[in-house]
Amino acid sequence: MATIVFLGAGSVTFARNLLGDVLSYPALADSDVVLMDVDADALERTASVARAMVDAGDYDATVEATTDRREALEGADYVLCTIGVGGADPFENEVEIPREYGVEQAVGDTLGPGGVFRAMRTLPTLLDVAHDMEAVCPDALLLNYTNPMAILCWALDEATDIEVVGLCHSVQHTAEAIAHYAGVDADDLEHWVAGINHMAWFLDAEVDGESIYPALHEAAADDEHYTADPVRFELLEHFGYFVTESSHHLSEYLPYFRTDAAVVEELTPPDGYEEGPGGITASWMPTGAYLEFYRGMKEWQAERDVEDVDLSVSRSNEYAARIIHAIETDTPRRVNANVRNHGGSITNLPDDACVEVPCLVDGTGVHPCSVGDLPAQLAALIRTNVAVQEQAVEAGLERDEDALRRAIKLDPLAGAACTLDELDAMVDDLLAANADYLPAFA
């Protein structure tokens, strides 16, 4: 019997899906589930749904809910972290203030000014989580879903003794998308993917031993496919490989796509684009598109009746429950996860970097695979992002404002849009606007 803690459980949809994954495994259906959130009302909604799911399926799992983090973590075996620190107001500042300086972020949660400042307001809370775990569940595995993934996991691994693994769904969603583009069944697709979170690459993608890359290149010439995913198809053409992050999000990590409003407009479908396999959302290219979605989702969740939630149990493509099941039952399984590169999984990236690589999971834990060298052009693109992450980790752990400013100045998109003096002025404005969320930089 495993004790599984959900931190940030107030997000009903995500918590419900992850709990459904756990309950879908008979070997985990008797788990002790502990839900924790600082928002008592949101927590109670999730707890009501979770208990109803357990009752509807007549599972042996138990569900507890608490707003006390230390109490929730007591004796945990696994901690799933989906927290968001600060909510919509600082998020809006992190998008709109850079916008005033010409830095156009569609999402703003992974790299760039938005990602770096999100890390600064999130890391202190995650460090508190890890230190609580050191005290009351030191052997527990922290499975982190919170962005910015690479910065946070790097910093937690650097500063604490807790084993942390970062999880995302971009590899799974991209596998679905490229199978769709290539006209093959996603269940038949074999792949080998490595890089960093939101910039990992399908180094191999095969069906029955045959590469689907020729079909992907043909798909790039198809207007419907290209319109759905223009940034990723552009990178495929110019750098030779398909990348894991969606076009709207990926466009922020590079200097090529967001410094000219006409280019953003050109890459945005004129009438929007219905979401397709793999979460195709090219219509989210405009600046602040995800912020608008985030606010709408919060309102929808707050107004949603618990009675309207689907209580059926099914297995999503998220990795968390797969990892827990593999460890608990000693069932070997391969997933893509975010870990430090200390073992040299990717030999032409820095040893300290947080990389997203194939990992073998069994009863002894999570073990990163050896990838070797990435193609030189892919490693070069990744290193531009790692440079920002490295400075952000230093800024967050050392409370170093100079490192914070260097992180912003090294960012590919910000550097393409602004002068160095403009970037300093932007940082000044962000520090002032979000001062309540950044006590370390007061």
- How many whole angstroms from its chain centre is CA 438? 22
Q: 3-state DSSP call for residue 261?
A: helix
> Which residues, in sequence order, are CB contacts of 305 under 8 Å at separation 6+?
none
Q: Please state, in angstroms and rounded to a whole number, the distance separating the CA atoms of residues 437 and 122.
A: 9
Measured at the CA of 62, the angle between CA 57 and CA 64, to 5 degrees, comes to 125
**Taking the CB of residue 416, how many other CB atoms lie within 10 A of it?**
15
Contact status, residue 429 vs residue 97, Cβ threshold 8 Å: yes
Which of these is catalytic: 169, 191, 225, 342? Answer: 169
> Which residues, in sequence order, are CB contacts of 325 under 8 Å at separation 6+?
25, 27, 28, 331, 333
> Which residues, in sequence order, are CB contacts of 181 under 8 Å at separation 6+?
215, 216, 219, 225, 229
Q: 3-state DSSP call for residue 205?
A: strand
Q: Please state, in angstroms and rounded to a whole number, the distance separating the CA atoms of residues 438 and 442.
A: 7
DSSP codes, 344-356? -SBTTS-TTSEEE
Q: Please state, in angstroms and rounded to a whole number, the distance separating the CA atoms of residues 13 and 34.
A: 16
Q: Which among 331, 323, 384 is positioned nearest to 359, based on CA atoms? A: 323
Q: 3-state DSSP call for residue 278?
A: coil
Q: Please state, in angstroms and rounded to a whole number, the distance separating the CA atoms of residues 415 and 409.
A: 6
Q: 3-state DSSP call for residue 339?
A: strand
Clarify whether 342 is annotated catalytic. Answer: no
* Residues acting as catalytic residues: 169
